[in-house]
Amino acid sequence: MYHFDKGVLVVRLNMEDVVVTGLGATTPLGGDVPSTWAGMLAGESGIAAVEEDWAAALPVRIAARLRVEPTEVLDRVQARRLDRCEQIALVAAREAWADAGRPGVEPERLAVVIGTGTGGALSMLGQDDVLEASGVRKVSPHTVAMLMANGPAAWVSIELGARGGAHTPVSACASGAEAIATGLDLIRLGRADVVVAGGTEACIHPLPLAGFAQARAHSTRNDAPGRASRPFDTGRDGFVIGEGAALVVLERAGFAAARAARVHAVLAGAGVTSDAHHITAAHQDGQVRAIRLALAAAGLGPAGIGQVHAHATSTQLGDLTEAGSIEEAVGSRPAVTATKSMTGHLFGAAGALGAVAAVLSLRERVVPAVRNLEEQDPRVRLDVVAGAPRRGVAGAALVNSFGFGGHNASLVFTAAG
């Protein structure tokens, strides 16, 4: 809680546990959490060829699109007024809220934190095309509400009646994990009892594909989409752009206990840092500091981590940097997985989906295997799970999420009970 004492703000942290009571997602593997999780355990790929005519001239013609279109779930009129990233945030929020049992919380004690990397990029680019081709009178009156990055958080707050704040971290690929870290802070600062937190992204479009291709960050395995994303493998040649949303419901443990809520896991700690080094090249020091801050917040040492859900996008330099960071911060003993090998890179939603996978791994005591890991890079001195899911893994779960701009966010989850 916080108060003013002689004009000075005094903050007293609430160190009560923060628990995860709800999970929601829509991804290239499935339209909800159960189907996405089943796809991860089966080692499926959500990556496919981009068949539109506009892709023919691009060096990159693969992407990981949603398995289930949000328009199949949302009301037609409502969907037409929302950007795709807003649509899928609502889909994931409804699942997470229902999974949590629709907590009866005071609106002023309910907050929403949804991160995104590009926000309503599809609407901005699409409406610009409309303006150029047909003039101002054809531009949608909903354009501004569709393109603004805070749109997903705003729409979810309206849907749930959340009046405790609607926040939007925009930290590139670390946005979703940073949103969950912010949710933890809101509860521990006494500003909320329940927070819906996570990330959303939808930007499969010629311009991002062309830009990433020019930066040589995207895989060009156009002839073998399912084999394109291969974290930690010697043959990796870049990430694959994906779309999706993932959200969790966080609650103060006492609040959850009072309503006899089912608890999936405990969000024990989080660490957020910045590299101040380079706009696109990651720095090991910043990643290590984020991991160590998360461990310290959770009251754990390196030996307490049993599994790592790596950021691991399948780029040459990025995977090596993170492997070194994991080895330095927690050692080479934990089981390491990288689900982007199946879902592609969901950018602002990536860390949130990693959190959902970590919670399920703890709850089910099984860690998904990395798809396409045929020959592990010998410079990656980690116990990377390959071939088949690994069962019976003990210890806490670490989730890493790193983004362009030097943004680093790490989360630590522990098993419920």
Would you state the torsion angle of the CA atoms of residues 325, 326, 328, 333, taken in this order, to the nearest 10 degrees? -160
Q: 391 forms bridges with which residues in the sheet?
A: 366
Provide the 3-class DSSP secondary structure of residue 255. Answer: helix
pLDDT per position as a tens digit, 147-165: 999 999 999 999 999 999 9
Angstrom distance (rounded) from CA 176 to CA 314: 19
pLDDT per position as a tens digit, 373-413: 999 999 999 999 999 999 999 999 999 999 999 999 999 99
Angstrom distance (rounded) from CA 352 to CA 4: 35
- Whose tokens are 């390959």? That residue is 386
Residue 337: φ, ψ to 5°? -125, 165
Angstrom distance (rounded) from CA 323 to CA 302: 15
pLDDT per position as a tens digit, 336-346: 999 999 999 99
pLDDT score recorded for residue 1:
45
Res. 4: pLDDT tops 70: no
pLDDT score recorded for residue 417:
79
How is residue 378 written in tokens?
A: 């010998």
Integer distance in angstroms from the first to the last C-alpha of the chain?
26
Q: 201 forms bridges with which residues in the sheet?
A: 244
Confidence of residue 9 (pLDDT cuts 50, 70, 90): very low
Q: Return the exposure string of 75-94: e unless at least 16 CB atoms fall within 10 Å of the residue's CB, then b.
A: eeeebeebbbbbbbbbbbbb
Angstrom distance (rounded) from CA 29 to CA 410: 24
pLDDT per position as a tens digit, 59-93: 999 999 999 999 999 999 989 999 999 999 999 99
The contacts of residue 191 (CB under 8 Å, 6+ apart) are 111, 164, 165
Confidence of residue 189 (pLDDT cuts 50, 70, 90): very high
pLDDT per position as a tens digit, 163-175: 999 999 999 999 9
Helix 151-160 and helix 84-99: axis angle, to 10°? Answer: 40
The contacts of residue 415 (CB under 8 Å, 6+ apart) are 265, 266, 362, 363, 396
Residue type (1 letter), 44: E
Residues forming the active site? 173, 311, 345
Residue 243 Cα to chain centre, angstroms: 11
> What's the pTM?
0.95
Angstrom distance (rounded) from CA 325 to CA 333: 13
Angstrom distance (rounded) from CA 226 to CA 213: 18
Angstrom distance (rounded) from CA 10 to CA 3: 5
The contacts of residue 96 (CB under 8 Å, 6+ apart) are 22, 23, 24, 196, 198, 247, 248, 249
CA nearest 397: which of 314, 310, 332, 277? Answer: 310
% residues pLDDT > 70 (the chain) = 97
Res. 326: pLDDT tops 80: yes
Q: 18 forms bridges with which residues in the sheet?
A: 252, 267
pLDDT score recorded for residue 14:
64
Angstrom distance (rounded) from CA 202 to CA 83: 9
Question: What would the mean pLDDT of 214-218 be, rounded to a whole number?
Answer: 94
In degrees, to the nearest 5, what angle opens at C-alpha 294 toward C-alphas 199 and 300?
135
Angstrom distance (rounded) from CA 218 to CA 242: 11
